[in-house]
Structure formats: C-alpha cells, structure tokens
Amino acid sequence: MDFGGPGFVLTIIGLSIIGWLVNNWIRAKHGYALEDEWGGKTERKDTVETQHLRQENRELRDLLTKVEKRMQVLETIVTDKGYAVANEIEALRDTRPVDESGSGAPLEMQRKERA
C-alpha cells in the first residue's frame, strides 16, 4: 500500500466522515446534543414525551425531598430521649398494682394478668 498517494488520503477522509456520522447517529439515538461541522452543539427539541418525563422527574424529586424530611423527623422522634421516658412510664404503669374494681386501668385497655 502506498501511504503517500491520494488513495490513502481519501481513505482517511472517508473513515473520518463515517466515524463522525456514526458518532452523531449514536448521540441522536440516545438524546445527546449533536455536533455540527465546526464543533458547536445543536440541542434537540423537546418532544411532548420528553417534556412529560421531565415534569414527572421534577415531581418525583419533590416527593423524595418531602419523604426525606419526614424520615428525618421520624428518626428524631425515635432517637429522642422523650421516647425512652415514655417507655419507662409505660413500664411503671404495668407494674403498679390495680385495685379489684379495675378503675386504675386506662380507658379500654385490658389489665395484664400476673402469674
């Protein structure tokens, strides 16, 4: 093969053009911006489907933010000292003697039978 002849140069130019076309085809297929001849970017226009997906994505991100905030509040409640104090109070309530009339039992709760 003669590397100095016009055939080699044309082959290099042809392979470069084919590579550029394949690159742009793959980018267009997957939704990336396309490059023009001078290296600039050409953004794709949004279709109705992509606008809908962007809106749904925004809504889901907002929902996720709300859920994260709620989870932080629940973690604070669970790890709070007041939660442990409430459990200790309930434990004391169970060990306290109850008179036979049952008036010491809170609302509709059943008394625990002692063995």
- The two tokens of residue 40 are 């600039």
CA angle at 30 for the pair 28 and 35, rounded to the nearest 5°: 35
Condensed to tens digits (0 to 9), the pLDDT of residues 52-90 reads 989 999 999 999 999 999 999 888 877 776 667 777 777
Give pLDDT tens digits for 15-56: 999 998 998 888 888 877 777 667 667 666 677 888 898 999
pTM over 0.85? The answer is no
CB 28 within 8 A of CB 34: yes
**Residue 40 per-residue DSSP state:** -
Alpha-carbon distances of 65 from 12, 44, 71, rounded to whole Å: 53, 29, 10
Distance between CA 70 and CA 46 in Å, rounded?
34
